[in-house]
């Protein structure tokens, strides 16, 4: 017979008593598996219709996947509206692709607004709410459009599925091989696009087996911890990767503004190849900036075989960009050069005019040890933490835990009333 300790029985008794006082408490799971879920967003342009749109929905329904549909207003009629309602009822998202699918970059604010409002009015009639995101026809963007359209702009990786010469196999191959956490995929459900229907029959189950979950754009932003910003067009929504990094050194702080051809970038934020080599794969480069396009790191070599190539940030949101060591090392390896072979490594705009405010080297690891029980993350463990935990458990409005993991006293990868018992025990020094 298995022995049960008196201490364990006592804890169980406390748990039962507290549970009786908190019959409707919530539980927060914080398992590693949920944290590591890879998200991907399939998006479909140029519908709706009564043929291909429904065929796409059939595949999504078969694999319990969600997607986002960008509608052309002129394609919405009484018959195609049924497909729109079906998509919405399945949990898919309905978005805006303009009324006429015209190049909008040269349009007046009035004409731009008319294009967007027409679609919204039609969509409201069908599902009772307006569209959430906008994809510019032909990805034609202007500052007037950013200023006039009060929706986040979406692009996405393009597998050329609007070209009949691209086979279903080529389409699926491209999507699968370019899939990564947070990627948005640009597809088309225009009438007759049967090859894309065939492609997603391969793409969805293949990526699901690789651990991907297919979500709407709204869910993608929410679960990645990002709020869509203006003056940006999104192809990927990555999680901020440097929450467990600490400051190592500052490369630049102040304010520097210029376009990609400004010579001043060569002296503004220069990276030391020797330092990065010494740090190995433990570092990241973080840039605080203002621009519709993200910064890049330019790798330059003038002697021997010249090199001028750029490293794209792993993460960017219009205010902050992060370059990971592994991405820089991968490019250096592909070029068969070392850090110290380069003549210069600088941070520059990828396009447009950028204002850089700060550039830093970060390194993995925290300099501060997490305080167990400090759920309000104020650097102390005291009665305030027990109050916050208790309010959260009984679902008091606006009660939030600033640090979930600090509250997992029992270390069972979840937050519940048992953890509250242990927090109170520690505070009152009850001995069992």
Task: Indicate whether 183 and 204 sit together in one domain.
Answer: yes
Provide the CATH number for the domain around residue 194: 3.20.20.370
Compute the mean pLDDT over every residue in the chain, rounded to the nearest whole number.
89
Please state the separation of Cα 214 from the chain's center in Å.
13
Q: Is the pLDDT of residue 71 over 90?
A: yes
* Residues forming a β-bridge with 297: 311, 347
User: Domain ends where: 173, 204, 234?
Assistant: 234
Whether 21 and 46 map to the same domain: the answer is no
What are φ and ψ of residue 394, in 5° steps? -90, 15
CA 412, 417, 419, 423: dihedral to nearest 10 degrees?
Answer: 180
Q: Is 327 a catalytic residue?
A: no
| Nearest partner of 13 among 427, 429, 417, judged by Cα | 417
Domain final residue pick, 199, 234, 269: 234
Residues 24 and 63 placed together within one structural domain of the fold: no
| Mean per-residue pLDDT, 246-266 | 94
Q: How confident is the model at residue 314 (pLDDT cuts 50, 70, 90)?
A: very high
Same domain for 324 and 379? no
Is 113 within a domain?
A: yes
The average pLDDT across 94-114 equals 98
pLDDT at 27: 57
**Is residue 30 very low, low, confident or very high in pLDDT (cuts 50, 70, 90)?**
very low
Selection from 194, 153, 201 nearest residue 175 by Cα: 201
Domain boundaries, position 326: 245-364
**H/E element, 154:** strand 153-154
Lowest-confidence range among 8-12, 14-18, 57-61, 182-186?
A: 8-12
Total number of domains constituting the chain: 3
Distance from C-alpha of 299 to C-alpha of 412, rounded to nearest angstrom: 46
From start to end of 380-429, where are the E strands?
Answer: 414-415
- Is 45 designated active site? yes
Residues 219 and 251 in one domain: no
Q: How far apart are CA 356 and CA 295, in angstroms?
A: 9
Residue 194 located in a structural domain: yes
1 domain-assigned = no
Please check the confidence at residue 29 and state whether its pLDDT lies above 80: no
Give kind and range of the element (H or E) at residue 198. Answer: helix 194-209
Weakest mean pLDDT among 37-46, 137-146, 147-156, 419-428: 419-428
Phi, psi (5° rounding) for residue 353?
A: -100, 130
DSSP secondary structure code for residue 340 in this structure = G
Domain boundary among 338, 364, 390: 364
Q: Is residue 63 part of a domain?
A: yes
CA–CA separation, 346 and 282 (whole Å): 19
Output the six-digit token pair for 113. 């607004």
CA distance 370 to 229: 32
Distance from C-alpha of 247 to C-alpha of 360, rounded to nearest angstrom:
7
* pLDDT (0 to 100) of residue 12: 44
Torsion of CA 21, 27, 30, 35, to 10 degrees: -160
- Dihedral sign of CA atoms 359, 365, 370, 376 in order: positive
Same domain, residue pair 251 and 190 = no
Q: Is the pLDDT of residue 31 over 50?
A: no
Does 131 lie in the same domain as 173? yes
At 251, which CATH number? 2.60.120.1070
Does pTM surpass 0.95? no
How much is the average pLDDT of 332-344?
95
Task: Provide mean pLDDT across the span 164-168.
Answer: 97
Closest by CA position to 51, among listed 73, 74, 78, 79:
79
Structure tokens at 65: 């996947």
Phi, psi (rounded to 5 degrees) for 427: -70, -40
351 and 381 in one domain?
no
Lowest mean pLDDT segment, chosen from 33-42, 139-148, 295-304, 346-355: 33-42
Distance of CA 331 to the CA centre of its chain: 23
Query: Are 182 and 154 part of one and the same domain?
Result: yes
- Which candidate in 97, 161, 181, 188 is catalytic? 188
Q: Residue 62 domain-assigned?
A: yes
pLDDT at 422: 84
Indicate if 107 and 166 belong to the same structural domain.
Answer: yes
Instruction: Confirm whether 239 is domain-assigned.
Output: no
Burial label for 159, CB within 10 Å (0-12, 13-18, 19+), is: buried
| Residue 240 falls inside a structural domain | no
Is a pLDDT exceeding 70 seen at residue 290? yes
Arithmetic mean of pLDDT, 185-210: 98
Of residues 61 and 370, more confidence is placed in 61
The predicted structure's pLDDT at residue 369: 57
Of the candidates 224, 139, 145, the one whose C-alpha atom is nearest the C-alpha of residue 186 is: 139
* Whether residues 81 and 227 fall in one domain: yes
Mean pLDDT computed over 303-322: 94
Is the domain of 178 the same as that of 135? yes
Question: Between these two residues, 147 and 33, which has the higher pLDDT value?
Answer: 147
Per-residue pLDDT, 4? 38
User: Considering the chain, what percentage of its residues have pLDDT values greater than 90?
Assistant: 73
Token code pair at residue 38: 């890879």
pLDDT at 315 over 60: yes
For 388-426, the pLDDT digits (tens) are 888 878 777 667 777 767 778 777 667 788 788 888 878
For residue 411, give the CATH number of its domain: 1.10.1330.10
- Cα(301)–Cα(309) distance, integer angstroms: 9
pLDDT for 346 beyond 60: yes
CA 300/CA 179 separation, integer angstroms: 29
64 torsion bin: left (phi>0), alpha (psi -120 to 50), beta (else):
left
pLDDT confidence tier of residue 3, bands split at 50, 70 and 90 = very low
Residue 210 lies in a domain: yes
The tokens describing 318, both together, are: 């219009």
Question: 253: pLDDT confidence band, cut at 50, 70 and 90?
Answer: very high
- DSSP secondary structure code for residue 270 in this structure: B
**pLDDT tens digits, 132-145:** 999 999 999 999 99
Cα Rg, the chain, nearest whole Å = 26
Structure confidence at residue 95 as a pLDDT band (50, 70, 90):
very high
């Amino acid at each position: 017979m298995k022995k049960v300790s008196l201490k364990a029985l006592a804890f169980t008794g406390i748990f039962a008593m507290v549970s009786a006082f908190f019959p409707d408490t919530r539980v927060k799971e914080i398992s590693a598996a949920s944290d590591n879920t890879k998200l991907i967003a399939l998006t479909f342009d140029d519908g709706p219709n009564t043929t291909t749109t429904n065929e796409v929905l059939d595949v999504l329904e078969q694999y319990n996947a969600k997607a986002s549909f960008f509608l052309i207003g002129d394609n919405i009629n009484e018959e195609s509206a049924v497909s729109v309602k079906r998509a919405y009822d399945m949990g898919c998202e309905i978005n805006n692709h303009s009324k006429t699918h015209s190049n909008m970059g040269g349009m007046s604010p009035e004409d731009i607004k008319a294009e967007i409002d027409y679609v919204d009015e039609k969509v409201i009639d069908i599902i009772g709410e307006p569209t959430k995101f906008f994809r510019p026809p032909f990805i034609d963007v202007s500052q007037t459009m950013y200023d006039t359209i009060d929706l986040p702009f979406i692009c996405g990786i393009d597998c050329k599925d609007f070209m009949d010469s691209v086979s279903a196999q080529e389409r699926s191959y491209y999507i699968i091989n370019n899939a990564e956490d947070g990627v948005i995929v640009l597809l088309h459900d225009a009438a007759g696009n049967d090859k894309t229907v065939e492609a997603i029959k391969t793409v969805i189950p293949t990526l699901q087996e690789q651990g991907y979950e297919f979500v709407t754009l709204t869910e993608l932003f929410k679960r990645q911890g990002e709020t869509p910003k203006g003056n940006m067009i999104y192809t990927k929504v990555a999680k901020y990767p440097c929450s467990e990094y600490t400051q190592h050194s500052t490369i630049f702080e102040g304010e520097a503004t210029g376009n990609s051809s400004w010579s001043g970038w060569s002296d503004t934020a220069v990276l030391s190849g020797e330092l990065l080599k010494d740090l190995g794969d433990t570092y990241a480069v973080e840039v605080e900036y203002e621009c519709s396009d993200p910064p890049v790191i330019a790798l330059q070599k003038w002697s021997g075989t010249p090199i001028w190539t750029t490293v794209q940030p792993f993460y960017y949101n219009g205010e902050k960009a992060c370059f990971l060591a592994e991405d820089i090392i991968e490019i250096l390896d592909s070029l068969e050069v070392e850090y110290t072979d380069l003549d210069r490594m600088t941070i520059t705009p990828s396009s447009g005019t950028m204002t850089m405010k700060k550039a830093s080297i970060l390194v993995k690891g925290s300099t501060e040890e997490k305080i167990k029980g400090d759920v309000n993350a104020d650097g102390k463990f005291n009665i305030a933490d027990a109050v916050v935990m208790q309010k959260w458990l009984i679902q008091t409005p606006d009660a939030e835990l600033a640090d979930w993991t600090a509250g997992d006293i029992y270390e069972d990868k979840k937050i519940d009333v048992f953890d509250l018992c242990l927090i109170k025990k520690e505070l009152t020094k009850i001995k069992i």
